[in-house]
Chains A and B, each alone.
Chain A
Amino acid sequence: MSAAPVQSAGVVVGRAEEAARMVASRKRWDRFFMIGGAVLSFLCIAVLAVLVADLVRDAWPRLEWGFLTRDQSNDAEQAGIKTAILGTGLVMLVTAVTAIPLGIAAGIYLEEYAKKNWFTTIIEINIANLAGVPSIIWGLMALGLLVYGLKTGQSILTAGLTLGLLVLPIVIVATRESIRSIPQGIREASFACGASRLQTVRYHILPYSMSGVLTGCIIAMSRAIGETAPLVTIGALAYITSVPAVPFSEKAWPLEAVATRAVQVDAPIETGASGGVMQFRIELPDETPGAKKHAVVKATRDVTIPAGASAAQVGEAIEATPDLTARLDSTGLLRVENEQFGGIVLGKDTSGVAAALAMKQEGGRHGPLDWLSSSFTVLPIQVFDWVSRPQQNFQINAAAAGVVLVMVTLVMNGVAIFLRVRLRKRLQW
């Protein structure tokens, strides 16, 4: 500065210049940061767009309704993702039903109820650690604890619980963060009105933190929906065409289960004593071209059981009927078979005994929650399986299933954003 410091006017001018320079410099940084941020944001979106576009381009030949509704197949063009979509949907349902209420409850407990002591500190540290545990470890845990320990089997329930535990920390952490952002004044105001802790949580903490909690839940579900490793470990299938048990639908009993149940019936039914006629139906595959998956009834056989017949006599009577064989298997169950290929024999009892027995059994319909124990596959497993197939055609399927997965995730996110906006509208600070 050339002006002598004693000249007050000069000092002022000097200061003003310096200030102007500083402001200009700050503004420069401001602009730099703004432009940099804009470029980076654009890059992120561009990368995502390119990825999705590429995926859609690869998947294009398969992107039609039938792909969603067809069974799995080894013919890539005939293959669909019906069971995978059902599996993913139901597993996610179980995951949501376990992780969300549990996670929110735990978050609320830790934020609003728990006293700060070494025990809660340990819990907090562990939750943070759990969030970082590789998913395959959860799979191993679930195999030991759920599949073998609690005997939940390789089922939708197991898968849902596993993923639920996997994402639980995410929900907990999101809930806590969201709760922490509520000003303490709100809590004090509620308590000052005479509310109990539960009432404060119910009427204030929970509603006000909902939008953050919701975001956490969606992040959690988005993570869960893409998981493969733990599900492979607990036994998700690569090939399955049967759909999970539809509530209240007629039960399709495995033959063995039928036998086991039947033998366990304790009230004596006087089949042998009263005698009767049993009708067996022999079904054979329909070999007509194009008649896939349909069998035709080739013949019916009536077996007359004399009154007071013994087990052996019942067996003999069946054996004496053409095309039917009866044998006791190693578990002591009588099996009625037909020697020709595909001849799985269905019996029909015309004596009314079956009806009586049916009353005693569970009605022959699925319970509302039977689907929980169904076997399953999920979209990522399907993608994984197809990606590793040598046939190039399956790469298209993999991309198409990928597109579906992305769409599902986007829809989930969309719902979350919609709910959040609605919540925000009602709730403003």
Chain B
Amino acid sequence: MTSANVSNLQVGNAGDRQRAVEVVVPTHGRDVSGTIAAVDSRAASSSQSASLVKAEVRGLDFYYGKFHALKNLNLAIYDKKITALIGPSGCGKSTLLRCFNRMHDLYPDTKYSGEIVLHPDGLNLVGPGIDPITVRMRISMVFQKPNPFPKSIFENVAFGPRLRGIKGKDALEAEVQRALKGAALWEECKDRLQDNAYRLSGGQQQRLCIARALASDPEVILFDEPTSALDPVATLRIEELMRELREKVTIIVVTHNMHQASRVSDYTAFMYLGELVEYGETPQIFQRPKKTMTEEYISGRFG
């Protein structure tokens, strides 16, 4: 019952759906079937040109034991864009994020059904028999609290490349430098690479974690409320950084902070009680939400 309603809410009219799909099809040569929550065409054509789909969530359900945490989710994640997941606590936004790199596999009694298809090769991230490690090799993550390893700055960033078989001092140094530059941390710590990561400030630590995520050369980076533990200045720097990173990589960000979502993201998905209520281009969601629930949440009437 519920899931049927949600599908209707998401899909909108057939025309919209058709257009969104048209955007997708030429890129990957395949049809996006089902009820992918594509973005309103007017918004798409006005602010973004020819967005490509990086990943599609199709009929995704997720369970913690008996608890049905995500209910028949469908949405498309656009390539080299920032997609924000918003919603009140417990709405499932973090749960959805952690499906993308199979973080739930670390814990017992979790179950996925449905698909998250990663393009261009169509890998089903949550498919049975798909090793989570292969997923995480392509999709990296930045966590809520800065969690650098209690090792040197260099070792923190070099960990990913090492796991990918990069050996040799020079090669590793090149990777570390590239990642630190990408995370806008190089200038601050190029002379103290052997210092323990915990000597850095909180904001620097979080940027180090971003560098660590970048060093793996991921296709998608997941940000799980990356600035909730940081002060406003550090928050701004991270947001700036995310916008820069958008040039190279697809980003999905979970945030509690509505302003952050509106500032950094290109697309926003509003979730409630494990369901996707509304998904669209960020300006549209924040300025002309279609659902009253979205509007109420954004205007701070609940959540």
Contacts and interface: CB of A to CB of B under 8 A. Distances in A.
Q: Do chains A and B touch in the complex (CB under 8 A)?
A: yes
Interface of A: 115-116, 183, 185-196, 199, 203-204, 208, 426-429
Main secondary structure of the interface of A (DSSP, over half): helix
Nearest to A193: B160
A188 B147 CA distance: 9
Given A191-B136, A427-B151, A115 B108 contact: yes
B103 interface: yes
A428 B197 CA distance: 9
B149 interface: yes
A190 B132 CA distance: 13
A188 B150 contact: no
A187 B140 CA distance: 14
A428 B145 CA distance: 17
Contacts of B145: 185
Interface in B79-135: 101, 103, 106, 108, 132-133
A189 B150 contact: no
23 contacts: A183-B147, A189-B147, A189-B212, A191-B103, A192-B140, A192-B141, A192-B213, A193-B136, A193-B212, A194-B133, A194-B137, A194-B140, A194-B160, A194-B163, A194-B164, A195-B133, A195-B163, A204-B149, A208-B150, A426-B196, A427-B150, A427-B151, A429-B150
Contact of B150 (A187, A192, A428): A428
A330 B169 CA distance: 72
Contacts of A115: 108
Contacts, number: 69
A186 B137 contact: no
Contact of B147 (A186, A195, A196, A428): A186
A189 B142 CA distance: 8
Listed from nearest, the 3 A-B pairs whose CB atoms lie closest are A185-B147, A192-B141, A194-B136
A116 B65 CA distance: 14
A194 B198 contact: no
A117 to B, nearest CB: 9
A188 B108 contact: no
A427 B196 CA distance: 7
Given A115-B108, A191-B103, A196 B143 contact: no
Contacts of B285: none
Interface in B148-192: 148-151, 159-160, 163-164
Interface of B: 101, 103, 106, 108, 132-133, 136-137, 140-141, 143, 145, 147-151, 159-160, 163-164, 196, 198-199, 209, 212-213, 216
Contacts of A183: 147
Contacts of B136: 191-194
B230 to A, nearest CB: 15
A188 B103 contact: yes
A185 B147 CA distance: 6
Contacts of B143: 185, 188-189, 192
Contact of A192 (B103, B196, B198): B103
Contacts of A427: 150-151, 196
Given A185-B143, A195-B159, A195-B163, 16 more contacts: A116-B108, A183-B147, A185-B147, A188-B106, A189-B148, A189-B149, A189-B212, A192-B143, A192-B213, A193-B140, A193-B159, A194-B136, A195-B133, A203-B159, A428-B196, A429-B198
A367 B48 CA distance: 77
A115 to B, nearest CB: 6
Nearest to B101: A192
B263 to A, nearest CB: 25
Given A192-B103, A193-B136, A193-B140, A186 B149 contact: yes
Nearest to B218: A194
Nearest to B160: A193
Nearest to A117: B108
Contacts of B159: 190, 193, 195, 203
Contacts of B150: 186, 208, 427-429
Nearest to A195: B163
A427 B145 CA distance: 19
B196 A189 contact: no
A198 to B, nearest CB: 11
Contacts of A116: 108
B133 to A, nearest CB: 6
Pick the most buried of A183, A189, A204: most chain B CB atoms within 10 A of its CB.
A189
A204 B162 CA distance: 14
A191 B222 CA distance: 13
A428 B198 contact: yes
Contacts of A204: 149
Contacts of A208: 150
A116 B216 CA distance: 32
B9 to A, nearest CB: 32
Contacts of A194: 133, 136-137, 140, 160, 163-164, 216
B108 A187 contact: no
Given A199-B163, A429-B198, A191 B149 contact: no
A189 B145 CA distance: 11
